Amino acid sequence: MPEELKLHISKRFNRDLATLVSQLLQMGGTVELQLKSALDGLLNGEVGLVQQAKELEEKVDQFDLILGEACAQMLVLRQPAASDLRMTLAINKCVSDLERMGDEAHKIARVALPLMEDGQSLTGFVEVRHIGQHVMQMLHDVLHAFSRQDISLALHVKSRDEQVDIEYRSAMRTLMTFMMEEPQTISRIMNVIWVLRSLERIGDHACNIAEQIVYMVQGRDIRHASKEEVAKLLNQLNLSEP
């Protein structure tokens, strides 16, 4: 094959891959907006925002379908190898995680309405705001890490998930104590618990994306790596960076 043609194919391939990445980041931005709308709507009692979060679900699903098809097309038409293949496969997995994050944001929006109708009893909202901010930052950072192929940032996101889990368990204990003391609040508190559970899951999905970034860049599968192995990897990266 003449060099020129090779170059042409490679350029076209890179353009297609760049389009995929750009669409994935757009999908990520949509999920970010959906989550932010659901949380802000809930915490500030703004029905319009909650409604927006619900409506964005359809857009996220559209991205899911389009990107699923685009990844398959990429594999069959371009037959990528090595790091390009890993990137295509990683995008394919990240799409699923983003779609599930969108589902969780939609669930938050769904319970937000009955919670808002229950009026101004704000038990659990401090925890929702706190964990919500934490998880939104994780989502933001992991998308940034993806766009920059930054494994160091990706690993930081992964290590932060543990903190979210600790906060989640602590919030759960507080809410359970509250339910025991005031049983008439149980159905309301259960809705707050579902919101926290969704946030905790969104954190898990951010972690999954972080793992895919490491796979994409280094070809290393750290999905079932221990905390120590991840810390060691992060340490090596920090040492090798200027």
Contacts of residue 193, Cβ cutoff 8 Å, sequence gap at least 6: 124, 172, 175
d(CA 161, CA 165): 6
d(CA 68, CA 59): 14
d(CA 101, CA 82): 29
Nearer to its own copies, 14 or 133 (CB): 14
Instruction: Please identify which residue in 47, 122, 126, 186 interacts with its own copies, judged by CB under 8 A.
Output: 186
Asked if 111 and 128 touch (Cβ cutoff 8 Å), the reply is no
Q: Which two tokens stand for residue 222?
A: 């750290």
Identify the CA nearest to 160 among candidates 130, 138, 186: 138
Which residue pairs, CB below 8 angstroms and at least 24 apart, start in 77-82? 78/13, 78/16, 80/13, 80/17
3-state secondary structure of 176: helix
Q: Of residues 91-110, which lie at the interface with its own copies (CB under 8 A)?
A: 92-93, 96
- Least distance CB 46 / its own copies (angstroms): 27
Q: Which two tokens stand for residue 76?
A: 């069959």
Instruction: Please identify which residue in 13, 21, 23, 61 interacts with its own copies, judged by CB under 8 A.
Output: 61
Nearer to its own copies, 49 or 91 (CB): 91
Point out which span in 7-15, 83-91, 113-121, 129-137 binds its own copies (CB under 8 A). 83-91
76 interacts with its own copies by CB under 8 A: yes
64 interacts with its own copies by CB under 8 A: yes
Instruction: Please identify which residue in 27, 179, 202, 206 interacts with its own copies, judged by CB under 8 A.
Output: 179
187 interacts with its own copies by CB under 8 A: yes
Q: Of residues 208-237, which lie at the interface with its own copies (CB under 8 A)?
A: 221, 223-224
Taking the alpha carbons of 136, 141, 142, 148 in that order, is the dihedral positive or negative? positive
Nearer to its own copies, 9 or 47 (CB): 9
The 8-class DSSP code of residue 223 comes to T
162 interacts with its own copies by CB under 8 A: no
180 interacts with its own copies by CB under 8 A: yes
- Least distance CB 51 / its own copies (angstroms): 20
Instruction: Please identify which residue in 25, 75, 116, 230 interacts with its own copies, judged by CB under 8 A.
Output: 75
d(CA 186, CA 205): 28
Residues that bind its own copies (CB under 8 A): 61, 64-65, 68-69, 71-72, 75-76, 79, 81-82, 85-86, 89, 92-93, 96, 176, 179-180, 183-184, 186-187, 190, 197, 221, 223-224
